[in-house]
Amino acid sequence: MQTKYLLSTTAALVFTTSLAFAQDFRIGLAEDPDILDPDQSRTFVGRIVYAAMCDKLVDITPDLEIIPMLATGWEWSSDGMTLTMTLREDVTFHDGEPFNAEAVAYNINRSKTLDESRRKSEVASISGTNVVDEYTIEIMLANPDATLLAQFADRSGMMLSPKAAEEMGIGFGNAPVCAGPFSFTERVQQDRIVLTKFEDYWRADEINFDTVTYLPITDDTVRLANLRAGDVDMIERLAATDVASVQADDGLLLEQAVSLGYQGLTVNVANTDRSETPMGQDATVRRALSLAIDREVLNQVVFEGVFAPGNQPYPPTSPWYNSDFPVPARDVEAARALLAEAGAEGISVEVQVSTNPVAQQVVQVVQAMAAEAGINISIVAKEFATLLSEQTAGAFEISQIGWSGRVDPDGNIHQFMTCEGGINDSGYCNPEIDTLLNAARTSTDVATRKESYDAALAILQEEIPIIYLYHQTWIWAIDDAVAGYVPYPDGMIRLVGVSKTE
């Protein structure tokens, strides 16, 4: 049976009328992104910048429906082994090169073959492409892949100029060339990223700013102070403790959306010799640490109860959550018993965390709770890009980090838990998990996929390479002169249709 999705007026989002003037729009970010190459990058804030710079084959609505973007329509073959996409004919890259089926084929191949690509596991099901004509491409699969369209709604679907990518190689992220509403202008590490309106953008009449400037401001209090002072027009990830203050401020607007992701503790279990610790080598010790943590108290103390406690890649409200394993209550005595069983009473472990004050507060609360169970945590704060680099290299014991979440459940678990997963920083490898998560990718039946995920999560509750802590709510604070902003559960800032009055 064939399924189709074609561009229609009912699928389009309604945006505000373009203003007769344009301005600079300044956004305060909670961190500085890593490299701005969709194939190599991994940060949430990097994706925020991409939302203004790199259009994708498909996008999502605020209700998580997949809709056309650079692809105007698509059709699956009856056996689910071929995806045929029709493409927009009025798109050019920022360097003037044409967007067409050849460009799509190039991008898919780059994601699959670039040595540094973190997208390999996301497009692993693709066996090849066939350029049917200038604006039609067939994507052939080695096996049915229920996740592919959702992958194309994120970095795997972001289209880069083949000419620029070839010329710059792995240095592409230093001056990226995409096909979005804004083109790259400059970047000063830890200071700013500046993009300029692309006049030939296919929706240029819906872009109301000459430039957009992203300013990494890691301190939540300072970020909000910059908004109140008029130095930025918008900030992302407002601290939960500041929600009431912003709501009471007549000059500010507040927007929220429940996130798709999680925050937790990634344990190094087999990634370099830094994994050779009791915590890394013994799942019993990891379960003890998990039981020592009161997730509800953590949520109340750090986030005023705004976020949701969690113990899986998906929040308890998600249909993919395994209800057989509810969020555990804190049990210090049980934690002590597990440590005694493992012969690991009084162990010490190092936790790295970003310099973000809220992230540090999370780890400090965990540190205090763990100490009561006999686990001594030392905290090492690192600039976010450094933390990511060292986590990738395996230069850590435990790393406090999270994931912004994906539309399809596969995006929250496969690349972290499979042996060759692109972001498997813990080094965890269990062939049974690979089998279950790979099987979940091949079926379009929700119940069948749920069975595979449930079985995988049952194993991961025992082996626990990631200790999940909570699921955040995306919160934006915005100057009240801004209009047309629509919050999305992926946390991205989409600027099409957004305007600002003087």
As a whole number of angstroms, the distance between CA 342 and CA 354 comes to 30
- pLDDT single digits (tens) 55-76: 999 999 998 889 999 999 999 9
- Structure tokens belonging to residue 72: 């105007």
Calculate mean pLDDT across residues 121-131: 95
How sure is the predictor about 317, in pLDDT bands with cuts at 50, 70 and 90? confident
Give the SS3 label for residue 253.
strand
Segment 205-261, tens digit of pLDDT = 999 999 999 999 999 999 999 999 999 999 999 999 999 999 999 999 999 988 889
pLDDT of residue 15: 37
**Per-residue pLDDT tens over the stretch 324-344:** 999 999 999 999 999 999 999
Is 183 within 8 Å of 53 (Cβ atoms)?
Answer: yes
- The answer to whether 441 and 454 are in contact (CB under 8 A) is no
* Main-chain dihedrals φ then ψ at residue 153, nearest 5 degrees: -85, 5
Residue-level pLDDT at 470: 96
Q: Nearest 5 degrees, angle CA 322-CA 457-CA 145? A: 95
Q: What is the pLDDT of residue 443?
A: 83
Provide DSSP, 42-61: --HHHHHHHHHH--BSEEE-
Residue 335 tokens read as 């934690």
pLDDT tens profile 378-409: 999 999 989 999 999 999 999 999 998 888 99
Residues sharing a CB contact under 8 Å with residue 386, sequence separation 6 or more, in sequence order: none
189: pLDDT strictly greater than 60: yes
**2-27 pLDDT, tens digit each:** 444 444 433 333 333 334 444 999 99
CA 376 – CA 467 distance, rounded (Å): 17
Sequence-distant (6+) residues with CB within 8 A of 335 are 288, 289, 291, 292, 373, 374, 375
Q: How far is CA 322 from CA 259, 396, 451, in A?
A: 18, 29, 9
* Three-class SS state of 293: coil
Q: What is the amino acid identity at position 443?
A: S
**Cβ neighbours of residue 115 closer than 8 Å, sequence gap 6 or more:** none
The two structure tokens encoding residue 467: 């200790």
pLDDT of residue 87 exceeding 80, the answer is yes
Give the per-residue pLDDT at 5. 44
pLDDT confidence of residue 417: 97
The pTM assigned to this predicted structure is 0.77
What pLDDT, on a 0 to 100 scale, did the predictor assign at position 6? 45
Closest CA to 353 of 264, 276, 463: 264
pLDDT above 90: percentage of residues in the chain: 86
Could you give the CA distance from residue 399 to residue 393 in angstroms, rounded to a whole number?
12
Could you tell me how many residues make up the chain?
502
* Per-residue confidence (pLDDT) for residue 9, from 0 to 100: 36
Q: Which two tokens stand for residue 388?
A: 């990511």
Q: What is the pLDDT of residue 438?
A: 92
Give the end-to-end CA distance of the chain in Å, rounded to a whole number: 54
Quote the CA–CA distance of 168 and 145 in Å, as a whole number: 32
Q: Which phi and psi angles does 85 have, rounded to 5°?
A: -120, 135
- pLDDT for residue 17: 38
